[in-house]
Amino acid sequence: GNSVTQMEGPVTLSEEAFLTINCTYTATGYPSLFWYVQYPGEGLQLLLKATKADDKGSNKGFEATYRKETTSFHLEKGSVQVSDSAVYFCALSAGGSNYKLTFGKGTLLTVNP
Amino acid sequence: GAVVSQHPSRVICKSGTSVKIECRSLDFQATTMFWYRQFPKQSLMLMATSNEGSKATYEQGVEKDKFLINHASLTLSTLTVTSAHPEDSSFYICSANPPVDTGELFFGEGSRLTVL
């Protein structure tokens, strides 16, 4: 079956530091890959996505590239801000119009001023 | 973007009682909604797929008699936790896919259930 493994947290960084949260997946076929973010007290929001190999998703300074050869979708940001403090979830769907998502366990990021 | 709203955001109930959680798509019609459960420091676990006008499809290991799902209209799905026990305490999140295939799910704010 499908599975997502992401870096265990928590991750604590200082403002303006470089962020990487690793995510690897196992899936049959060609899944779509997502990063969702959950701010304290709120529901999940889509941060970025990629639907095919070598696609790069980007939003709010975050980037992730769909690497089929390494089955990875690592999240990066060059300079984090305090407001980026949240839980980040890597997820995949089986592709096409199948919206059933398989999530990783989530990584708590805390950015200190 | 599309808005999905859940109610209540927090609920505390006594053991043995039933609790209903609503999930509404506010500005679009959703033929399919999904219910997830999130354990502390764990991932979201898909519980069931709610289909408008038909029975929900439950994931393996989820008790359908325990977690009743009703998708009576294109904008409302409800999850009822029946005869709740402390182990049912959790964060329940719903999501819905918009009618146009954007590849994106929209999530509610979540409902935290505490069973005493």
Query: What percent of chain A lies above the pLDDT cut of 90?
Result: 70
Q: What is the pLDDT of residue B86?
A: 95
List of chain B residues with pLDDT < 50: none
Mean per-residue pLDDT of chain A: 91
- Chain B interface includes A106 (CB < 8 A): yes
Tokens found for residue A60:
């709010």
Asked if the Cβ–Cβ distance from A99 to B97 is below 8 Å, we say yes
Q: What is the pLDDT of residue B101?
A: 65
pLDDT band at A98 (very low <50, low <70, confident <90, very high): low
Minimum CA–CA partner of B4 in chain A: A43
- Chain A interface mutation, best of B4, B10, B37, B44, highest count of A Cβ atoms under 10 Å: B44
Q: What is the pLDDT of residue B104?
A: 72
The residues, ordered by sequence, that sit 6+ positions from B104 with a Cβ below 8 Å of its Cβ are A46, A49, B1, B97, B98
Q: What would the pLDDT profile of A44-90 be if each residue is shown by its tens digit?
A: 889 999 988 999 999 999 999 999 999 999 999 999 999 999 999 99
Q: What is the pLDDT of residue B68?
A: 96
Tokens found for residue A77:
């940001």
Q: What is the pLDDT of residue B1?
A: 62
Is B93 strand, coil or helix?
Answer: strand
The more confidently predicted of residues A96 and B45 is B45
Scanning A26-65 for CB atoms below 8 A from B yields 32, 36, 42-46, 49, 51
Query: B41: which chain A residues are within 8 Å (Cβ-Cβ)?
Result: 105-106
Q: What is the pLDDT of residue A1?
A: 81
**What does each C-alpha distance from B47 to A62, A72, B59 come to in angstroms?**
30, 26, 5
CA distance B95 to chain A (A): 9
The residue among A48, A35, A51, A57 whose CA lies nearest residue B101 is A51
Asked if the Cβ–Cβ distance from B44 to A103 is below 8 Å, we say yes
Measure the CA–CA gap between B33 and B23, rounded to whole angstroms.
Answer: 9
- How big is chain B by its Cα radius of gyration, in Å? 13
Residues A10/A111, Cβ–Cβ less than 8 Å: no
Asked if the Cβ–Cβ distance from B46 to A42 is below 8 Å, we say no
Residues A88/A67, Cβ–Cβ less than 8 Å: no
CA end-to-end distance (rounded Å), chain A? 41
Q: What is the pLDDT of residue B40?
A: 76
